[in-house]
């Protein structure tokens, strides 16, 4: 590899007002034009069928696109038939404009018009390449010759449109704009505009493609600024961008181009297009949304959009694709999970106006994603915060803080051993198996404790001990204290520092109660148990027995007095 092989092939614009650089973000959404059905489709290994294109088209309309490039009708029978199907099945709403691409050749334009017959709103898009490389290497023509091609095409399109009795809107692209001298590109576009004479009722579109990205985004934006400031009929011109992604900056080019004066973006849903693709409309629009700007596109059901896209294009939305990827909200790191869980808890308590949860740029639910399956994901890198969050949000289990740590290590160990992510139901099953209603070697049969005159509780504890039925006298200042005393005094079990909490089950059956107990043995090792029952006192007793059954020395110290 030798970098000396390369040099810049772009052109810095002449003097241009750069005050746009002080803007933070676009104040409003641009006009969006989807080119998925043309630019995106022609990049597929297996182009979409008519039925697949119709399915995609319907989704674009549902999302809210008001301008949709439906293809190059004169290029093939499939492209022609697709547009005719939209017309004949009345699939074009009155507020949607379809756009078609055509070369500036009479028979091709007439074939395009035939495909458009019956369309209420249409944009006819013509183009020719203007770059130095194309002029010198492909066409071997001068600047004047290339400009004449553009002008002749504009004249032909205007005349044939008038002849057809239509009022189609026109779009012109100096293809390979980024490799064209900027003042010359402006000269060509103004020559086209002089032919079309756009007005407020019939604005023209000047589309400036980065057919091949050649510069950093601020250079492309400066080129856009120059064009915006020097185009004729500017009030009646919609300045459009069509960024590709050769340098991986299609989104940045689009965002900076909008700041620099552009009014419109042509792109594809997930950036699909030839070579490295087009501008990713989902990312651009959602970036606006995350800054409080309504993009005027509805991505509230992102999973449905992705499913359709992957089905008809046979492409795959990358797991880390901004906003849309299956893992973009996922937190596996323990510290990230803990911060997210605490942020969500803070939102519940404080109810702030704006979204500020750590590590989450937007609320995943805004685009149809769920916290427990999409945000908090559990593997061997996870911590107690994420595990506890899933247990509380999905199953209504609010463990004591110290127990969360114990359970977190337990889950990490299982994930590490299995070398896999654990799903919420798997985590819940681990909790049930490790902590809940543990019945060996002690198993509860029943207990009866009556309140005495002195305020104490007195009665008996009926249970199995190593499979043998035992009835133990029990007395204490409360029912749980009485059971605990019976275990320690009658079975010789020693523990201290009893930690207790309980709650009604908030998710699932509201008739169940959950209790948690932690105890420390004589070596200060803490054991945790949980009890689940329809009665809160019974749940508490089961939790205590579960904790005792988990004590490391239980089998050796359990001796009847």
Q: Quote the tokens at residue 168.
A: 């189609």
Rounded to the nearest 10°, the torsion over CA 506, 509, 510, 515 is: -70
**Rounded-to-integer distance, Cα 482 and Cα 32, Å:** 72
Q: Quote the tokens at residue 205.
A: 């579109």
Closest by CA to 254, choosing from 300, 305, 295, is: 295
Counting residues of the chain whose pLDDT is more than 70, the rounded percentage is 96
pLDDT in tens, 57-95: 999 999 999 999 999 999 889 999 999 999 999 999 999
- CB neighbour list of residue 107: distance below 8 Å, 6 or more residues apart: none
- Residue 508: pLDDT band (50, 70, 90) is low
DSSP readout, 97-119? EEEEEE-S-HHHHHHHHHHHTT-
Q: What is the mean pLDDT of residues 335-341?
A: 85
Architecture of domain 22-313: Alpha-Beta Barrel (3.20)
Least confident among 129-143, 144-158, 366-380, 479-493: 366-380
- CB neighbour list of residue 398: distance below 8 Å, 6 or more residues apart: 392, 501, 503
Q: Strands, E, within 281-329: which ranges?
A: none
Q: What is the mean pLDDT of residues 258-281?
A: 96
Instruction: Please report the pLDDT score of residue 394 as a whole number.
Output: 87
pLDDT in tens, 1-50: 999 999 999 999 988 999 999 999 999 999 999 999 999 999 999 999 99
HSE, CB side, 13 Å, CA atoms: give it for residue 515.
Answer: 24
Q: pTM of the entire structure?
A: 0.82
Is the pLDDT reported for residue 169 higher than 60? yes
* Domain ranges for the chain: 22-313, 334-433, 442-557
- Residue 390: pLDDT band (50, 70, 90) is confident
Is the pLDDT reported for residue 561 higher than 60? no
The helices-and-strands tally (H runs, E runs) of the chain is 17, 14
In this structure, the strands spanning 496-504 and 513-520 are: antiparallel
Q: What is the mean pLDDT of residues 111-132?
A: 96
Is the pLDDT reported for residue 293 higher than 80? yes
Whether residue 176 contacts residue 131, with contact meaning beta carbons closer than 8 Å, is answered with yes
Instruction: Please report the pLDDT score of residue 560 as a whole number.
Output: 44
Is the pLDDT reported for residue 371 higher than 80? no
Whether residue 340 contacts residue 331, with contact meaning beta carbons closer than 8 Å, is answered with yes
Instruction: Please report the pLDDT score of residue 294 as a whole number.
Output: 97
Instruction: Please report the pLDDT score of residue 267 as a whole number.
Output: 97
Instruction: Please report the pLDDT score of residue 334 as a whole number.
Output: 74
- Listed as own residue / partner, the contacts of 45-49 with beta carbons closer than 8 Å and 24 or more positions apart are 45/314, 46/314, 47/78, 48/312, 48/313, 49/78
Please name the residue ranges forming H helices in 291-400.
302-313, 334-350, 384-395
Q: What is the mean pLDDT of residues 278-302?
A: 97
Closest by CA to 244, choosing from 232, 252, 256, is: 252
pLDDT in tens, 409-467: 999 889 888 988 888 899 999 999 999 999 999 999 999 999 998 889 999 999 999 99
Burial of 31 (0-12, 13-18, 19+ CB in 10 A): middle
Q: Quote the tokens at residue 435.
A: 């902590």
For the chain, the average pLDDT equals: 93
**Rounded-to-integer distance, Cα 503 and Cα 516, Å:** 9
- Give the residue carrying structure tokens 């970036």: 287
- CB neighbour list of residue 529: distance below 8 Å, 6 or more residues apart: 435, 438, 516, 517, 518, 542, 543, 544, 545, 546, 547, 548, 549, 550
Is the pLDDT reported for residue 392 higher than 90? no
Architecture of domain 442-557: 2-Layer Sandwich (3.30)
- Give the residue carrying structure tokens 């029978």: 77
HSE, CB side, 13 Å, CA atoms: give it for residue 304.
Answer: 12
Is the pLDDT reported for residue 541 higher than 80? yes
Is the pLDDT reported for residue 558 higher than 60? no
Whether residue 147 contacts residue 190, with contact meaning beta carbons closer than 8 Å, is answered with no
- Residue 553: pLDDT band (50, 70, 90) is low
């Amino acid at each position: 590899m030798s970098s000396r092989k390369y040099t810049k092939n772009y052109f810095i614009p002449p003097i241009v007002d750069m005050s746009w650089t002080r803007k933070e973000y676009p104040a409003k959404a641009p006009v969006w034009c989807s080119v998925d059905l043309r630019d995106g489709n022609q990049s597929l290994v297996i182009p979409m069928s008519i039925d697949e294109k119709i399915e995609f088209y319907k989704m674009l309309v549902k999302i809210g696109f008001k301008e949709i490039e439906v293809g190059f009708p004169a290029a093939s029978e499939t492209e022609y038939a697709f547009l005719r199907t939209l017309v004949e099945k009345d699939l074009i709403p009155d507020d949607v404009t379809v756009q078609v691409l055509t070369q500036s050749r009479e028979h091709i334009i007439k074939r395009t018009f035939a495909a458009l017959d019956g369309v209420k709103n249409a944009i006819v898009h013509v183009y020719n390449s203007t770059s130095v490389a194309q002029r010198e290497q492909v066409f071997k023509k001068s600047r004047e010759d290339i400009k004449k091609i553009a002008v002749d095409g504009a004249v032909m399109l205007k005349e044939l449109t008038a002849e057809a009795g239509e009022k189609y809107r026109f779009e012109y692209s100096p293809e390979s704009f980024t490799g064209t001298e900027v003042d010359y590109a402006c000269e060509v576009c103004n020559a086209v505009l002089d032919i079309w004479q756009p007005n407020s009722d019939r604005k023209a579109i000047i589309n400036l493609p980065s057919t091949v990205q050649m510069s950093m985004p601020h250079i492309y934006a400066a080129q856009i600024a120059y064009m915006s400031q020097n185009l004729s009929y500017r009030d009646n011109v919609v300045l459009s961008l069509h960024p590709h992604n050769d340098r991986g900056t299609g989104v940045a080019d689009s965002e900076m181009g909008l700041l620099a004066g552009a009014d419109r973006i042509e792109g594809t849903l997930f950036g699909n297009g030839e070579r490295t693709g087009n501008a990713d409309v989902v990312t651009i629009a959602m970036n606006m949304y995350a800054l409080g700007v309504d993009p005027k596109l509805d991505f509230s059901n992102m999973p449905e959009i992705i499913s359709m896209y992957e089905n008809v294009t046979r492409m795959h939305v990358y797991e880390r694709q901004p906003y849309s990827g299956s893992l973009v909200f996922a937190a596996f790191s323990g510290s990230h999970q803990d911060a997210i869980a605490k942020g969500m808890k803070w939102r519940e308590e404080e109810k702030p106006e704006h979204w500020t949860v750590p590590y989450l740029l937007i609320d995943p639910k805004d685009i149809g994603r769920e916290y427990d399956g999409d945000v908090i994901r559990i593997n061997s890198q996870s911590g107690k915060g994420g595990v506890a969050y899933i247990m509380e949000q999905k199953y209504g289990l609010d463990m004591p803080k110290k127990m969360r740590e114990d359970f977190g290590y337990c889950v990490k160990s299982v994930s590490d051993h299995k070398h896999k992510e654990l799903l919420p139901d798997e985590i819940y099953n681990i909790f049930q198996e490790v902590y809940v209603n543990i019945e060996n070697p002690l198993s509860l049969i029943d207990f009866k404790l009556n309140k005495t005159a002195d305020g104490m509780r007195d009665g008996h504890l009926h249970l199995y001990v190593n499979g043998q039925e035992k009835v133990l006298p029990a007395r204490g200042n409360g029912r749980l204290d009485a059971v605990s005393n019976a275990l320690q005094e009658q079975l010789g079990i020693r523990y201290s520092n009893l930690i207790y909490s309980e709650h009604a089950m908030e998710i699932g059956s509201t008739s169940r109660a959950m209790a948690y107990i932690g105890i420390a043995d004589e070596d200060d090792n803490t054991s945790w148990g949980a009890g689940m029952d329809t009665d809160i006192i019974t749940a508490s007793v089961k939790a205590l027995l579960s904790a005792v059954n988990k004590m490391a020395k239980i089998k050796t110290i359990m001796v009847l007095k």
